[in-house]
Amino acid sequence: MAAVDLGASSGRVMAGTVGPSTLALEEVRRFPNGGVRAGPALYWDVLGLYRETLAGIREAGPLDGVGIDSWAVDYGLLDERGALLGNPVHYRDTRTEGVPAQVGAKVSARELYDVTGLQQLPFNTLYQLVAEGDRLDAADTLLLIPDLLTYWLTGEIGAERTNASTTQLYDVRARTWAVDLATRVGIPPRLLPPLRDPGTVVGPARELSGLPVVAVGSHDTASAVAAVPAEPGTNFAYISSGTWSLAGLELTSPELSDAALAANFTNEGGVDGTIRFLRNVMGLWVLSETLRTWSTSDLPGLLAAAAASRGLAAVVDIDAPEFLAPGDMPARIVAACRATGQRPPEGRAAVVRCIVDSLALAHRRAIREAASLSGRAVDVVHIVGGGARNELLCRLTADACGVPVLAGPVEAAALGNVLVQARALGEDLPDLAAMRALVRETHEVRRYEPSGAGDWTAAEARLAGG
Ligand code: LFR
């Protein structure tokens, strides 16, 4: 099977093989992705992604199936003929500024949360659609990015559930589109296509000799969490660590309390009807933007220097809105340190240390809050995704959380993608436990014990300028 896994900074096509004791991935094609600023807007190059996807699938050679996952919330609009209306806009575009407040005047945050269970992020699909204004009049259908590529491959229209759950237009309890809510905020319900479950065979890809296209957990985080190699019966939390850190717990039903709303926790839909109760932590984005600002690609060198620098010398609230948009992160970090009465880091190693310390601190906050909000214990934190490779981040996260971190696999999203495909195509993987057992059997994890180093409680207090 081919797993197409599109991340905010790169996309890849992996060839996956699944059998009773086999789960192997081979990278066939990797290509850069990112925002394209053109005129007043920040876009995705969605046609380039489609071209690379097709090329990668062709290169992967004889296949039984293909599935696509990507980042969430972003979409293309189609007209009645099925033609794309305009280029999909990047969620880091500023067009939604002020929109959440405008929507809040019509539907309270409490009510929105009650229906959708979603955290308030300025780029939720709901807010992006409201920002479109009159342009929606010309639109007939909304397709999230993986559904758009699936449509181009198969001609079939639909919305895969895990990703639909990130739109803030999905009723997390009824598991249907939140049609009343959409209508109240001025989004025509005709835009919302029929829902499909992960594991549905969508149809043959016309340009690929009829290759079956399978709807997987098309939200990359849903696929990544499906491949977390947790032992059955353990109290585990996960951090899907890449551009974002998605940090939280897997639940069987949504947690919609006032406290969860106040803590801005989300209830996204996972594979097999699970709930991903998590918060978006700003993630390695801040570090990658920092490297871009410095025009360097020497991440290993900078991380080694950061590891040798003094820990917790300065920390920032990495989740603050000023770190969301592209730009000069080192300058923003200096400003944030000054604003909280801390001496800003001097030199590149100290800046990188401040970012990684701050990210570990944000992991601690998110994991602890997830545990207390859901009334569950956390005995181990699994880090999957690209960040599992970052030893400093894993070590500091273990220290900050005070529990062991198990790091890996790096390619969790692609693994979750092929596991759901394999099941749809007849492999005996009855449930998530079986999928996770296969990941454990076939992939190494690295264990980091908490060392007791660092006063993380005091560091947290400094964020508030205390
Ligand atoms: C991670 C991710 C997050 C989502 C963010 C924006 O790649 O999918 O889960 O909140 O990207 O879509």
β-sheet bridge partners, residue 135: none
Q: How far is the CA of 302 from the centre of ligand 1 (A)?
A: 26
The pick from 280, 284, 411 for probing ligand 1's pocket by mutation, whose C-beta has the most ligand atoms within 8 angstroms, reads: 280
The pick from 221, 278, 282, 288 for probing ligand 1's pocket by mutation, whose C-beta has the most ligand atoms within 8 angstroms, reads: 221
Task: Please give the Cα distance from 458 to 364 (Å, whole number).
Answer: 13
Task: Please give the Cα distance from 213 to 260 (Å, whole number).
Answer: 37
316 Cβ contact list (under 8 Å, min separation 6): 333, 336, 337, 340, 354, 358, 463
Q: Tens of pLDDT along 358-413?
A: 999 999 999 999 999 999 999 999 999 999 999 999 999 999 999 999 999 999 99
- Chain Cα centroid distance, residue 197: 19
Q: Is residue 103 within 8 Å of residue 127, measured between CB atoms?
A: yes
Q: How far is the CA of 244 from the centre of ligand 1 (A)?
A: 7
For residue 161, the 8-state DSSP code is H
pLDDT of 2 reads 98
pLDDT at 63 over 80: yes
Q: Tens of pLDDT along 145-200?
A: 999 999 999 999 999 999 999 999 999 999 999 999 999 999 999 999 999 999 99
Q: Is residue 63 within 8 Å of residue 1, measured between CB atoms?
A: yes
The pick from 244, 275, 279, 285 for probing ligand 1's pocket by mutation, whose C-beta has the most ligand atoms within 8 angstroms, reads: 244
| Element housing 447 (H / E) | strand 446-448
Task: Please give the Cα distance from 167 to 37 (Å, whole number).
Answer: 24
Please report, to the nearest 10 degrees, the dihedral formed by the alpha carbons of residues 290, 300, 303, 366 taken in order: 70
Task: Please give the Cα distance from 153 to 228 (Å, whole number).
Answer: 29
> Is 428 labeled as catalytic in the residue annotation?
no
Q: How many CB atoms lie within 10 A of CB 206?
A: 13
Cβ–ligand 1 distance for 151 under 6 Å, the answer no
- Chain Cα centroid distance, residue 132: 23
Task: Please give the Cα distance from 186 to 65 (Å, whole number).
Answer: 38
pLDDT of 88 reads 98
For 448, the token pair is 């980091």
| Peptide bond preceding 146 in cis form (omega within 30 of 0) | no
Rounded CA Rg of the chain: 21
Instruction: Kindly report the protein residue whose alpha carbon is nearest to atom 1 of ligand 1.
Output: 71
Cβ–ligand 1 distance for 124 under 6 Å, the answer no
Nearest atom within ligand 1 for CA of residue 74: 12
Q: How far is the CA of 166 from the centre of ligand 1 (A)?
A: 9
Cβ–ligand 1 distance for 91 under 6 Å, the answer yes
Q: How many CB atoms lie within 10 A of CB 364?
A: 22
pLDDT of 465 reads 77
Cβ–ligand 1 distance for 284 under 6 Å, the answer no
DSSP-based three-state secondary structure for 156:
coil
pLDDT of 223 reads 98
Size of the chain, expressed as the number of residues it contains: 466
Instruction: Kindly report the protein residue whose alpha carbon is nearest to atom 9 of ligand 1.
Output: 221
Task: Please give the Cα distance from 270 to 31 (Å, whole number).
Answer: 27
Cβ–ligand 1 distance for 278 under 6 Å, the answer no
Q: How far is the CA of 246 from the centre of ligand 1 (A)?
A: 8
Minimal CA–CA distance to 123: which of 105, 103, 96? 96
Cβ–ligand 1 distance for 244 under 6 Å, the answer yes
Any idea what the Cα angle at residue 328 is, between residues 391 and 345, rounded to 5°?
60
Q: Tens of pLDDT along 68-122?
A: 999 999 999 999 999 999 999 999 999 999 999 999 999 999 999 999 999 999 9
pLDDT at 352 over 90: yes
Instruction: Kindly report the protein residue whose alpha carbon is nearest to atom 12 of ligand 1.
Output: 72
* Phi/psi at 161 (5° precision): -60, -45
| Element housing 307 (H / E) | helix 299-307
Using DSSP, how many helices (H) and how many strands (E) does the chain show?
17, 21
* Phi/psi at 203 (5° precision): 160, 175
Task: Please give the Cα distance from 385 to 407 (Å, whole number).
Answer: 9
Q: How far is the CA of 221 from the centre of ligand 1 (A)?
A: 7
pLDDT of 153 reads 98
Q: Is residue 178 within 8 Å of residue 189, measured between CB atoms?
A: no
444 Cβ contact list (under 8 Å, min separation 6): 408
Q: How far is the CA of 196 from the centre of ligand 1 (A)?
A: 20
pLDDT of 464 reads 83
Residue from 5, 220, 357, 399 carrying the catalytic annotation: 220
What domains are defined for the chain?
2-218 (3.30.420.40), 219-408+445-466 (3.30.420.40)
Q: How far is the CA of 112 from the centre of ligand 1 (A)?
A: 20
Cβ–ligand 1 distance for 44 under 6 Å, the answer no
Query: Where does 7-124 have alpha helices with state H?
Result: 46-59, 99-104, 109-116
Task: Please give the Cα distance from 230 to 436 (Å, whole number).
Answer: 6
Cβ–ligand 1 distance for 312 under 6 Å, the answer no
Task: Tell me the whole-structure pTM to 2 decimals.
Answer: 0.98
β-sheet bridge partners, residue 407: 383, 446
Q: How many CB atoms lie within 10 A of CB 210?
A: 11
Cβ–ligand 1 distance for 280 under 6 Å, the answer yes
Q: How far is the CA of 347 from the centre of ligand 1 (A)?
A: 31
Q: Is residue 319 within 8 Å of residue 360, measured between CB atoms?
A: no
DSSP E strand boundaries for 357-429? 380-384, 405-407
Cβ–ligand 1 distance for 73 under 6 Å, the answer yes
pLDDT of 466 reads 58
368 Cβ contact list (under 8 Å, min separation 6): 378, 401
